[in-house]
Amino acid sequence: MSDTTNPPVKTEEEPPSGDSMMQRIVAGNALISVLAVVIALVIGGFLIAFANEDVREAATYFFSRPMDTISAAWTAVSDAYIALFRGSIFNWEATTFAGAIKPLTESIVFAVPLILAGLGIAVGFRAGLFNIGAQGQIIVGAIFASYIGFAWDLPVGLHLLLAMIGGAVGGAVWGAIPGVLKAKSGANEVIVTIMLNYVAVYLISYTLKQPVFNPGRSGQKSPAVAESASYPPLIPDWLVPGNSFRLHWGVIVAILATMAVWWLMERSTIGFELRAAGANPNAARTAGMSVGRITVITMVIAGGLAGLASTAQVLGTEGALTAGVAASYGFDAITVALLGRSKPWGVFFAGLLFGALKAGGFLMQSLTQTPIDIVLVVQSVIVLLIAAPPLVRAIFRLPDPDRPRRSARTAKKQEVAA
């Protein structure tokens, strides 16, 4: 092996470019994700303790009896996290089985739009696109889906299917705009999608004031979506008697979508092109791929998934179009995609986690007076840590996974080659 005669190729000491930042986000490992969640929960614990009345009172005489403060803090944090668990997974204090597992179903209800929109963001990440526009795509998808849902009169099954397609098309159209602009004129997709989010917010306000969406009322809600266009409840009454679950078939859509996105990314030519364009647009172009076309396709898929996320709301949970239909799902989905490392099943589980945090946050607030904003802080800290893997590694004293492994591998390779 005479790599020694190679001309200098400055690969290792070059400063990280934007592309490699994207690579880091996409290529990070699952361990970092898990550790990021752990650290975020620990930091959340500190905040809960600081925000707690008892803890602060005990802290006034901290130096005479420090154990009071510590035990108060422990109580506050453990109570809050126990409430979070009871509110999101399993409530053992409930009187019926249905009541006990209701929190879990609520978590999934919140998770479904997060998973679907998160998949859309993840597809964008894999293709090297920062799609910040899931919020707007959800809104426009919701307008389409709800309109088909309440205004059309179609047989059961077909109606739901058309409403779903309508939602996906709405999101896809909204996603296609930045895609086409980027492909044709190089417009930065981050800026365009952010701006389109604002446009969508005002579009929904306007839409809800139109007579069709708001017949004779001044409320902020459209007519209810027809039964024939709604997701049926997932768990029928005969299975778990007396349930009042909001859980609907949208979760099946989410599971199918996750599988579909996995297939798309790993087993289809479209995914191959998409990943190539994301990993190295120059090589993709040299290999005859049209990077502009890939950009448009990616944004259409991303928008379509965000549009599907909206159907979980308007055809399921909410049953109508409301001004707040998208809540903050479009933005939380970015975090979900990051936490899930832009891998379909990673996004799926990250979505479940975030759904659980959302659902559990309500009970935590009502039982322990812990502000629900703590959940937001935990989510934000997760993003920060994922954006800075070296920080997580430093905290847990993990070795840099790239360096030793890469050199060990190349060493092995050179032995083979020699």
Partner 1 sequence: MKLELQGITKVFGSLVANDHIDLVVEPGEIHALLGENGAGKSTLMNVLYGLYDPSEGQILLDDVPQRFNGPGDAVAAGIGMVHQHFMLVPVFTVAESVALGYEPAGPAGVLEMAKARQHVLEISERFGFEIDPDAKIEDLPVGVQQRVEIIKALSRDAKVLILDEPTAVLTPQETDELINIMGELKESGTSIVFITHKLREVRAIADRITVIRRGKVVGEASPTSTETELASLMVGRSVSLAVDKEPAEPGDVAFELDKLTVLGSTGTPVVDKVKLKVAAGEIVCLAGVQGNGQSELAEAILGLADTDGGAIRLDGEDLAGKSVRERLEAGIGFVPEDRSTDGAIADFSIAENLVLDLYNTEEFSRGVSLSPSKVAANANVRTEEFDVRFTDIHDKISTLSGGNAQKVVLAREMSRPLRLFVASQPTRGLDVGSIEFVHKRIVAERDKGTPVIIVSTELDEVVSLADRIAVMYRGKIVGIVDVAKAGPMGVNRDVLGLMMAGVSLADAEAQIAKDASATTPKSDEEVPS
Min dist CB 256 to partner 1, Å, is 17
* Distance in angstroms (rounded) separating the CA atoms of residues 80 and 162: 43
Q: Within a 10 A sphere around the Cβ of 140, how many other Cβ atoms?
A: 30
Q: Which residues bind partner 1 (CB under 8 A)?
A: 1-13, 23, 27, 267-273, 275-276, 279-280, 282-290, 406-407, 409-410, 412-414, 416-417
Q: Which residue lies nearer to partner 1 by CB, 261 or 309?
A: 261
Instruction: Calculate the alpha carbon distances from 383 to 200, 340, 362, 404 in Å.
Output: 25, 11, 22, 26
User: Minimal CA–CA distance to 254: which of 333, 162, 158?
Assistant: 333
Q: Which residue lies nearer to partner 1 by CB, 154 or 289?
A: 289
Q: Which residue lies nearer to partner 1 by CB, 8 or 18?
A: 8
Q: Which residue lies nearer to partner 1 by CB, 9 or 67?
A: 9
CA angle 158, 159, 164 (to 5 degrees): 95
In which region does residue 357 sit, left (phi positive, over 0), alpha (psi from -120 to 50) or beta (all else)? alpha
Q: Which residue lies nearer to partner 1 by CB, 227 or 402?
A: 402
Q: Which residue lies nearer to partner 1 by CB, 209 or 267?
A: 267
DSSP labels for 335-397?
Answer: HHHHHTTT-HHHHHHHHHHHHHHHHHHHHHHHHH---THHHHHHHHHHHHHHH-HHHHHHHHT
Backbone φ and ψ of 278, nearest 5°: -70, -40
Tokens of 166: 């309508």
Q: Which residue lies nearer to partner 1 by CB, 270 or 367?
A: 270
Q: Is 248 helix (H, G, I), strand (E, B) or coil?
A: strand
Q: Within a 10 A sphere around the Cβ of 208, how many other Cβ atoms?
A: 20
User: Minimal CA–CA distance to 274: which of 283, 282, 265?
Assistant: 265
Tokens of 47: 């905040």
DSSP labels for 103-136?
Answer: HHHHHHHHHHHHHHHHHHHHHHHHTT----THHH
Tokens of 221: 């809600």
Q: Which residue lies nearer to partner 1 by CB, 49 or 291?
A: 291
Min dist CB 161 to partner 1, Å, is 22
Residue 233 bridge partners (DSSP): 248
Tokens of 104: 């879990």
